[in-house]
């Protein structure tokens, strides 16, 4: 019976009747200027939305060449997502390198840097921007300055907002061959220093210390999360490589003094990934996956710690083994099958596969990475993770010569991003696993060109100061609405009925022809529904993973790169009815 597919979707997952599906509104399409490299949402106010368009600009000109620098354009859309103005800052940025636009409270700023080679000094500047016109509203002012001890030292910095976006947090690092140090500074909405800078140094070899995350808490403490590595001998005596040892998580006070060394070690187990989070007026949360083998291929458990942001004391520690036997069937009430119906036979077969997966109690792949942690109204936590793996490969092509000329070989390197199954887990207020779910997903995105991590063996996106935005179209975005979480992702349209392990899935590779789906997850029960949100054939291809979250809304960029002609861009606003 053809209606069984609908029955399957309904009976698989039942959401509470008050759940509201998200709505999406796309703005007008517009074209990126020639040479533009990226587009992102900066902020919104009661008059519209502000976008940053990055591009390359001429820096200096010589008789035999020129050097380029990155510049930017500020674009404003009104509340209907229609373009109001765009302003190029090439003139204002002469002599400086554009860094980014940034908003603090109701203020909008442009950040730029300048490096003096002779003095080995890097200076960061900021200037206010008029929200109504897009013009500079004042002169450049110095925000921070760093001096290299050695010419080979590397200076990194990153800006972010605090928990309620009332101040700007500047995290910087000076890394040398024998030392590394970190500095955290807070500025109010007028970019006035909110106190002395917090200076932190550590005793680790910079080559074996990889900073993964920095969190500035509401109690003005700093949490550093790092991966520690050790040298291992290779097959030959002279060969040495860095091998992951364990995580190092420390809390420092506003004087830079270490107050806590968070013990995440579990006897006979190894952490493979972590995530740190704090929202305003909430506990600090540390979540980690662990494996029973140092170089195992599976994740065997989940560690979740809640920490008092004021004292740094651990409030609760929850360490639970996880495997596929914990998966909750999302169609518990659908146990009757009509053996004469082909669709029901297919359902029964998929259910048998799911039961087999549960019985075998398989672990989850070690490539699972944390993506989101949501606080729930019942003081629990919903954790979203995703299988993520990337690698590069090189192809060689040969072109024959002509007129006696020799042939040539051309090498092309590609980076492949594979993002897979979404793991969803609820940790209740008592530290117990309330439910565990997995949505099968397979996305494969290939990008031309070679991209490397921070250092040999380090993955893209794991280093704190990494600026790579890839992948673009795979992955997912998530928007919370009280007790419901909406998970938005691009997928092969043939996967519309895929809801649990055991079902066959098609890999999404042609994202321009993909469908964007919304998964509505009930945080209390773990039940969810999957519905078609929109088709990417009708709009520039959506990038849910790179969405910006402002207030209770999600802003998503759609981008269509064309072989001939300018790239088409559109912005969408995703809202949930309250």
pLDDT band at 347 (very low <50, low <70, confident <90, very high): low
Domain that holds residue 479: 1-31+346-362+367-578
Q: Provide, rounded to the nearest whole percent, the portion of the chain with pLDDT above 70.
A: 81
In the predicted structure, residue 68 carries a pLDDT above the cut 50: no
pLDDT at 37: 58
The pLDDT confidence band at residue 8, using thresholds 50, 70 and 90, is very low
Q: What is the DSSP string of 443-506?
A: EEEEEES----SSTTPPTTTSTT------SSSS-EEEEETTEEEEEEEE-GGGTT--STTS--P
pLDDT band of residue 311 (cuts 50, 70, 90) is confident
Predicted local confidence at residue 337, as pLDDT: 44
Please give the pLDDT value at position 339.
54
Q: Give 270-296 as a DSSP string.
A: EEEEEEEE--TTS-EEEEEEEESSTT-
- pLDDT bin (cut points 50, 70, 90) of residue 6 is very low
Q: Which residue from 545, 523, 534, 550 is spatially nearest to 19, judged by alpha carbons?
A: 523
How confident is the model at residue 453, as a pLDDT? 39
With a cut of 60, say whether residue 567 has pLDDT above it.
Answer: yes
Instruction: Summarize the confidence of residues 425-434 as an average pLDDT.
Output: 93
Q: What is the chain's mean pLDDT, rounded?
A: 83
Does residue 237 register a pLDDT over 90?
no
In a domain, 154, yes or no: no
Q: Say if 516 falls within a structural domain.
A: yes
pLDDT of residue 550: 87
Mean pLDDT of 91-107: 90
**pLDDT at residue 152, as a whole number:** 86
User: Distance between alpha carbon 370 and the CA centroid of its chain, in Å?
Assistant: 9
The pLDDT tens digits of the residues spanning 405-419 come to 888 888 888 889 999
The predicted pLDDT at position 281 comes to 79
Residue 27 lies in a domain: yes
Residue 521 pLDDT greater than 70, yes or no: yes
3-state secondary structure of 235: coil
Residue 291 lies in a domain: no
Q: Rounded distance, CA 166 to CA 338, Å?
A: 60
The answer to the question of residue 497 being in a domain is yes
Percent of the chain with pLDDT over 90: 43
| pLDDT top residue among 451 and 552 | 552
- Residue 156 forms part of a structural domain: no
C-alpha dihedral (311, 316, 322, 326), degrees to nearest 10: -130
The count of domains in the chain is: 1
Question: What are the residues facing 73 on neighbouring strands?
Answer: 53, 88
Nearest alpha-carbon partner for 87 in 554, 106, 98: 98
DSSP secondary structure string for all residues of 15-38: --TT---EEEEE---EEPPTTEEE
Which of 11-25, 249-263, 301-315, 368-382 is the least confident region? 11-25
In a domain, 392, yes or no: yes
What string of H, E and C letters represents the secondary structure of 397-448? EEECCCCCCCCEEEEEEEEEEEEEEEEEEEECCCCCEEEEEEECCCEEEEEE
According to DSSP, residue 361 is labeled T
Question: Is pLDDT above 90 for 7?
Answer: no
Residue 219 lies in a domain: no
Can you tell me the mean pLDDT for 75-98? 89
Predicted pLDDT at 459: 39
State mean pLDDT over 41-60: 76
For residue 554, pLDDT beyond 50: yes
Cα separation, 111 vs 285, whole angstroms? 31
Higher-confidence residue of 496 and 447: namely 496
**pLDDT above 80 (res 395):** yes
Does 58 or 293 have the greater pLDDT score?
Answer: 293
| Across 66-70, 72-76, 442-446, least confident range | 66-70
Q: Give the mean model confidence (pLDDT) for residues 271-287.
A: 86
Look at residue 12 and tell me whether its pLDDT is greater than 80. Answer: no
Which range, of 124-128, 296-300, 337-341, 399-403, averages the lowest pLDDT? 337-341
pLDDT at 313: 85
Q: Quick check: pTM over 0.75?
A: yes
């Amino acid at each position: 019976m053809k209606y069984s597919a609908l029955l399957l979707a309904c009976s698989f997952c039942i959401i509470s009747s008050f759940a509201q599906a998200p709505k999406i509104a796309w703005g007008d399409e517009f074209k990126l200027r020639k040479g533009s490299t990226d587009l992102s949402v900066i902020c919104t106010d009661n008059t519209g939305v502000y976008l940053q368009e990055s591009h390359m600009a001429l820096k200096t000109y010589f008789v035999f060449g020129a050097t380029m620098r990155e510049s930017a354009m500020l674009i404003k859309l009104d509340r209907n997502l229609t373009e109001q103005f765009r302003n190029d800052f090439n003139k204002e940025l002469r002599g400086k390198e554009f860094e980014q636009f940034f908003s603090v409270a109701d203020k909008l700023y442009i950040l730029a840097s300048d490096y003096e080679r002779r003095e080995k000094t890097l200076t960061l500047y900021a200037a206010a921007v008029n929200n109504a016109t897009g013009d500079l509203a004042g002169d450049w002012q110095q925000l921070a300055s760093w001096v290299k001890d050695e010419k080979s030292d590397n200076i990194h910095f990153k800006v972010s907002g605090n928990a309620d976006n009332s101040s700007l947090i500047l995290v910087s690092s000076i890394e040398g061959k024998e030392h590394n140090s970190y500095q955290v500074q807070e500025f109010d909405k007028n970019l006035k220093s909110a106190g002395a800078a917090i200076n932190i140094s550590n005793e680790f070899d910079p080559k074996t210390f990889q900073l993964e995350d920095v969190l500035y808490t509401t109690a003005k403490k700093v949490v550093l999360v790092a991966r520690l590595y050790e040298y291992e001998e290779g097959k030959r005596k002279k060969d040495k490589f860095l091998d992951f040892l364990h995580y190092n998580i420390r809390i420092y006070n506003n004087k830079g003094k270490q107050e806590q060394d968070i013990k995440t070690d579990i006897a006979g187990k190894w952490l493979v990934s972590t995530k740190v989070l704090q929202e305003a007026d909430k506990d600090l949360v540390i979540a980690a996956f662990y494996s029973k083998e140092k170089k195992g291929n599976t994740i065997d458990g989940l560690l979740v710690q809640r920490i008092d942001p004021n004292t740094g004391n651990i409030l609760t520690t929850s360490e639970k083994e996880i495997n596929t036997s914990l998966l909750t069937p999302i169609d518990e009430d659908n146990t009757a099958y009509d053996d004469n119906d082909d669709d029901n036979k297919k359902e029964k077969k998929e259910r048998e596969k799911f039961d087999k997966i549960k019985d075998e109690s398989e672990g989850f792949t070690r490539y699972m990475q944390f993506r989101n942690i949501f606080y729930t109204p019942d003081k629990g936590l919903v954790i979203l993770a995703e299988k993520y793996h990337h690698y590069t490969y090189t192809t060689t092509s040969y072109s024959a010569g002509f007129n006696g000329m020799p042939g040539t070989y051309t090498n092309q390197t590609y980076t492949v991003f594979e993002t897979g199954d979404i793991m969803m887990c609820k940790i209740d207020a008592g530290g117990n696993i309330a439910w565990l779910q997995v949505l099968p997903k397979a996305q494969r995105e290939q990008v031309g060109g070679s991209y490397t991590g921070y250092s040999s063996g380090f993955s893209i996106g794991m280093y704190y100061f990494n600026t790579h935005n890839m992948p673009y179209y795979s992955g997912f975005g998530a928007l919370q609405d009280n007790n419901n979480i909406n998970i938005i992702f691009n997928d092969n349209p043939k996967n519309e009925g895929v809801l649990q392990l055991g079902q066959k899935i098609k890999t999404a590779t042609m994202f321009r022809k993909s469908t964007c789906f919304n998964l509505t997850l009930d945080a209390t029960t773990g039940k969810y529904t999957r519905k078609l949100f929109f088709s990417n054939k009708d709009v520039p291809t959506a990038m849910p993973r790179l969405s910006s979250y402002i207030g209770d809304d999600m802003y998503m960029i759609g981008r269509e790169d064309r072989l001939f002609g300018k790239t088409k861009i559109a912005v969408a606003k995703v809202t949930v009815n309250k």
